[in-house]
């Protein structure tokens, strides 16, 4: 969803979640800046984690200038393709796992891993896949998780729901859900409402 001109050939100004224009007091933005700083210092460049090029403030708010990913969301490709072969799914999961390994080594827990937060670098079928949107993420040494907030219910781990405890293992649970969706074309837990879905996940 690029919008406007490019800052340089590999950077983009984009609407939420990749291009934010909000107040400095926005807790999610503040948290994401802390996490992205950690990524720049300890992870970047990485083929499967989005790069941060710049952060600046003007009269319109605070802006993050991130790597341009023009290939769209993994979610959109799943919808278009319906389901993936085992070989194709393995290729996708391998890339996400590589990105997770890198951020976990930096003590970062993503907390909201889902197909909508994985962007393809370009439109090629074999394009690199990038993990992005670190607004809910936590860095062990520097940030507390955003209190009361965790990722989308379809991808939340049982311990996050029952104990409010989200660790790197929770990210791996989310990755498992993504794999299930890639292979089957639908989520593993289907219910009439979120309360029923939470019970299914915890049981």
pLDDT at 1: 37
**Residue 109 forms beta bridges with which residues?**
138
Give the Cα separation of 134 and 44 in Å (integer): 14
The catalytic position among 51, 112, 133, 171 is 112
Q: If DSSP codes are grouped into helix, strand and coil, which group holds residue 195?
A: helix
Helix H or strand E segment including 49: none
SS3 115: helix
**Rounded distance between C-alpha atoms, residue 38 and residue 47, angstroms:** 16
| pLDDT category of residue 5 using cuts at 50, 70 and 90 | very low
Contact (CB, 8 A) for 63 and 57: yes
Which has the higher per-residue pLDDT, 79 or 7? 79
The pLDDT of residue 58 is 84
Q: What whole-number percentage of the chain has pLDDT above 90?
A: 63
Helix (H, G, I), strand (E, B) or coil at 4: coil
User: What is the per-residue pLDDT across 168-185, written as a single tens digit (0 to 9) for each?
Assistant: 999 999 999 999 999 999
Q: Which domains does the chain have, with CATH numbers?
A: 11-67 (no CATH), 74-202 (1.10.510.10)
Residue closest to 55 by CA, chosen among 63, 43, 47:
63
Query: Does residue 2 surpass a pLDDT of 50?
Result: no
Say whether pLDDT at 196 is over 90. Answer: yes
Max Cα distance, the chain (Å): 49
- The distance from CA 145 to its chain's CA centroid, rounded to whole angstroms, is 15
Q: For position 172, what pLDDT does the model report?
A: 97
Q: Which two tokens stand for residue 71?
A: 């290939």
pLDDT, tens digit, for every residue of 23-49? 434 677 888 888 999 999 999 999 999
Where would I find the beta strands (DSSP E) of 132-189? Answer: 138-139
Distance CA 108, CA 165 (A): 14
Mean pLDDT of the chain: 85
Query: How far is Cα 52 from Cα 160, in angstroms, rounded to an integer?
Result: 28
At 7 the pLDDT is 39
Dump pLDDT digits (tens) for 101-137. 999 999 999 999 999 999 999 999 999 999 999 988 9
Would you place residue 52 in the very low, low, confident or very high pLDDT band (cuts 50, 70, 90)? very high
Q: Is residue 112 among the annotated active site residues?
A: yes
pLDDT of the residue at 3: 35
pLDDT: which is higher, 7 or 195: 195
- Of all residues in the chain, the percent with pLDDT exceeding 70 is 82
Phi, then psi, of 24 in degrees rounded to 5: -60, -30
Distance of CA 5 to the CA centre of its chain: 24
Which candidate, 147, 149, 143, 151, places its Cα nearest to that of 113?
151
C-beta separation of 133 from 25 below 8 A? no
Q: What pLDDT is attached to residue 145?
A: 53
Tell me if 113 sits within 8 A of 49, measured CB to CB: no
Comparing 144 with 183, the larger pLDDT belongs to 183
């Amino acid at each position: 969803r690029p919008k406007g001109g490019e800052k340089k050939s590999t950077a983009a100004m984009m609407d939420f979640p990749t291009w934010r224009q909000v107040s400095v007091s926005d807790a999610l933005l503040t948290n994401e800046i802390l996490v992205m700083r950690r990524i720049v210092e300890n992870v970047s460049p990485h083929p499967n984690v989005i790069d941060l090029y710049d952060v600046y403030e003007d009269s319109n708010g605070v802006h993050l200038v991130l790597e341009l990913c023009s290939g769209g969301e993994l979610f959109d490709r799943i919808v278009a393709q319906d389901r993936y072969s085992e070989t194709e799914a393995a290729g996708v999961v391998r890339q996400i796992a590589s990105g997770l390994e890198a951020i976990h080594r930096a003590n970062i827990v993503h907390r909201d891993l889902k197909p909508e937060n994985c962007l393809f670098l370009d439109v090629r079928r074999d394009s690199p896949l990038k993990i992005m949107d670190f607004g809910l993420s936590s860095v062990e040494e520097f940030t507390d998780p955003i209190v009361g907030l965790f990722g989308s219910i379809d991808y939340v781990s049982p311990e996050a729901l029952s104990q409010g405890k989200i660790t790197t293992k929770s990210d791996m649970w989310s990755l498992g859900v993504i794999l299930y969706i890639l292979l089957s074309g639908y989520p593993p837990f289907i219910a009439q409402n979120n309360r029923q879905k939470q019970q299914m996940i915890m049981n």
